[in-house]
Structure 1
C-alpha cells in the first residue's frame, strides 16, 4: 500500500500558496485494508475514507468511464492494480494531476509541473469533455490564478467552446453551478470567471440573462466600454478591489439587470432601469437556487445604485433609499451601498476622474438622518401613523441640511459640480 498527497495541496505548494485541504490517494489497497486500520468509509460511488486521527480524506486509486449524460454519468473502477499515474490522468487539469509520495518525490505523468512553471491552465486529456462541470472549474481556476499571470491553453479554450455548443452544460444541476460560481466570487478576480464563460459560450447555458447583457448597448459618452456586460465586469473588478464579501460582489454582477427590460428602440438609454431589475434577479436566484441573502441584497443594490447628483436629490428620495436599503435598522448597509456606487462609477472602459464624492456624500447625509430617532417624536406627543410621518419629515430636514453643507464644502474645495 502506497500513499500519495494529491491535487490542490501539491499544486499550491509548488505555487508557494498555503493550502487549506490535504487529500490523499492510496495505491495498491482494497477497502478492507483501510477499514482494518480504523479508517471510516464515507463514499458510496467510490471508496473514500477518513483518517481515524486527522479526518483527512483518503481515496483509493480509481479510473472513470462515461456511462451516461451529464455530471453524474460515470462508472468508477477501483482495484489494487490501478496505478497512481492512471488515477492522475482522469483529473481535470494538468496542474491538478500531480502527486507526491511520502518521501517527497513527485509523480507527474501529464507535465503539470511544467504548466505551473509556464503558468498555463491545460486540460488533462480527452476525458475532460466527459464532465461539463470542468468548464466551470477551469473558469474558476482562471479567476483564482489570473493575478499570477496564468492563461488558458488555446486548445483547452477551444474544447470549452465546443462543449458549450454541444449543450452538455445544460445538464449541470443548479447546486453545482452555484457552488462553482460562489467559489469564483471569493477569488481575487471573479470577473475573469464570467468573462471566460461568456467568451466560450458557456455563460449563456448557465446564466442566459447575464450573457444577454453583451448584446445591450450603453450610452458611449458615459460608458466607453459600450455594452452592459463589459461595464458589469469592470464594476465587478472594482468592487472586488474594495471588498472580499461575495454577497456584495454578486450584487454588482446583477446591478444592471434592469437594463434587460429596456426596449431595443430605446437603446442606448435605459430610463428607470433601477426599478426593473428585481424580477430578473429573482428568476436567476430561483433557477440556480442561490441563497436568499445573495438574492435580497442584490435586489437592494439594483434598486438603489443610482448616484447621480446625490447632494441635490430630493431629500424624500434619499430617505426612501435609506429605508429600502434597511439602513435605519443596519447602518452598515449604507456603507456597502456607497462601496457599490464607487465600483459602478469606476467600472468604465477608460481612466475615470480621481474625485468621486457621491459615496462620501451618501454616508455623510445618512449619518445625519440616522441620528433622528422615533423617541423624541413620541415625546412630542405624536401617535400612531403620525409618528412615522413626523419621523420622515425630520429626517428629510436633516438630509437637506447635510446636502447644503456638502455643496458649500465642495464649492470651497473647487470640486466640479458634475461630481456631486
Structure 2
C-alpha cells in the first residue's frame, strides 16, 4: 500500500501558495484495510476515508468510466490493481495531476510541472469532456491564478466552447453552479470567473441576465471593486456577489436568484442594494426619503441589514459613501428612539406611531438638509 499527496496541495505548494487542505490517494489497498487502521469511510461510490487523527481525506486510487449524462454518471473501479498513473489520468488538468510520494519525490506523468512553469491550464485527455462541471472548474482556476499570469491552452479553450455548444452545462443543477460561483467569490476573482465563462459562451447558459450586461467596461469595474474588497479583507459572498447586480432591476435579480439558486441572504442583499442605493449614494439625502428607506430596511429590528448595505456600496465606490459618517451616526440615533418613550408620555394608538416618525424625522433633519440643488449633488447610481 502506497500513499501519495495529490491535487491542490501539490499544485499550490509548487506555486508557493498557502496550502489550505491536503488530499491523499491510496494505491494497492482495499476499504477493509483502511477500516482496520481506524479510517472512517465517508463515500461508497468511490470510497473516501477520513484519517483517524488528522481527519484529512484519503481516497482509494480509482478509474472512472462515463455512463449517461451529467457530472454524476460515472462507474468507478477502485480495486487494488488501479495504478497511480491511472488515477491521475482521470483528473481534469495537468497541473492537478501531480502526486507527491512520502519521500517528497514528485510523480508527474502528464507534465503538470511544465504547465505550471509556463502558466498554462491544459486538459489531460479527451475524457475531460465527460464532465460538464469542468467548464466551471477551469474558469475558476483561470480566475484564481489570473494574478500569476495563467491562461487557458488554446486546445482546452476550444474544447470548452465545444462542450458549451453541445449543451453540457444544462445538466448541472442550479445549486452546483452556485457552489462554483461561491468558490470564485471567496478567491476574490469573480470578475475573471465571469469573463472566462463569457469567453467560452458559458455565461449565457448559466445566467442569460448576467450575460446580457457583460462587457469589457463592466469587467474592469468589477475587477476594481473586488480588488478593493480584498484590500479591506471583505470576503462575505453576499457583499461580493451583489457587485455584479448593481445595474440590474428587481425582476432580473429575482430571475438570477432562481437560475443560479442564490442563497436567501445573497439574493436579499442584491435586492436591497437595488432598492436603496439611490438615496444612500446621494451626497445630500432627503430626510423623508431616508426615513422611508430605514423603515423598509427595518432598521429598528435588523440593523445589520443597513450595515451590510453601506459596506456593499462602499465596495462599489471603492471608498466610503459621501455621507458615511453622518449616515452611521444618524442611523444609530434614530434607532434609540422607541415607542416606549411615547407610551410613557401618555400617547396612545396611532398617535404613538405619528410621534415616533416625527421624532425620527427631526433627527434626520438635523443631520441632512434637503436643498433645491440636490439633483446636482447626487453621487452617480450604478
TM-score range, shorter chain: 0.7 to 0.9
200-209 or 377-386: bigger deviation = 377-386
Deviation at 1:184, TM superposition (A): 1.3
Q: Is the 8 A contact 1:236 1:253 kept in 2?
A: no
Counterparts of 1:156-305 in structure 2 under 5 Å?
156-214=156-214, 225=217, 235=225, 238-239=228-229, 241-242=231-232, 243-258=234-249, 277=250, 279-305=251-277
Partner of 1:101: 101
Deviation at 1:364, TM superposition (A): 4.2
Q: What is the alpha-carbon distance in structure 1 between the residues aligned to residue 356 and residue 266 of structure 2? A: 30
Q: 1:381 aligns with which of 346, 357, 361?
A: 346
Deviation at 1:381, TM superposition (A): 2.4
Q: What is the alpha-carbon distance in structure 1 between the residues aligned to residue 113 and residue 18 of structure 2? A: 17
Give the 3-state SS of the residue equivalent to 2:291 in structure 1.
Answer: helix
Deviation at 1:141, TM superposition (A): 1.9
Q: Is the 8 A contact 2:279 2:285 kept in 1?
A: no
Gap runs ≥5 in structure 2 = none
Partner of 2:293: 321
Q: What is the alpha-carbon distance in structure 1 between the residues aligned to residue 62 and residue 342 of structure 2? A: 71
Deviations 1:179-224 (A, max 9, x none): 1111111112222111211221111111221112238xxxxxxxx9
Q: What is the alpha-carbon distance in structure 2 between the residues aligned to residue 240 and residue 328 of structure 1? A: 31
1:390 lines up with 2:355 in the alignment: yes
Q: What is the alpha-carbon distance in structure 1 between the residues aligned to residue 253 and residue 210 of structure 2? A: 10
Partner of 2:92: 92
Q: What is the alpha-carbon distance in structure 1 between the residues aligned to residue 281 and residue 33 of structure 2? A: 71
Counterparts of 1:42-53 in structure 2 under 5 Å?
42-53=42-53
Q: Is the 8 A contact 2:283 2:322 kept in 1?
A: no
Distance 1:175 1:382, change over 3 A: same
Q: Is the 8 A contact 1:62 1:79 kept in 2?
A: yes
65-74 or 308-317: bigger deviation = 308-317
Q: Is the 8 A contact 1:211 1:229 kept in 2?
A: no
Partner of 1:261: none
CA RMSD after TM alignment: 2.8
Distance 1:148 1:363, change over 3 A: farther
Deviations 1:221-263 (A, max 9, x none): xxx93xx6765665555545542111111222223321xxxxx
Q: Is the 8 A contact 1:239 1:339 kept in 2?
A: no
Deviations 1:138-161 (A, max 9, x none): 222222222333332233222222
Distance 1:374 1:345, change over 3 A: same
Distance 1:235 1:302, change over 3 A: farther
1:310 lines up with 2:305 in the alignment: no
Q: What is the alpha-carbon distance in structure 2 between the residues aligned to residue 24 and residue 366 of structure 1? A: 52
Distance 1:47 1:209, change over 3 A: same
1:334 lines up with 2:334 in the alignment: no
Deviations 1:96-136 (A, max 9, x none): 11111111110111121222223222222222111110111
Q: What is the alpha-carbon distance in structure 2 between the residues aligned to residue 24 and residue 343 of structure 1? A: 39
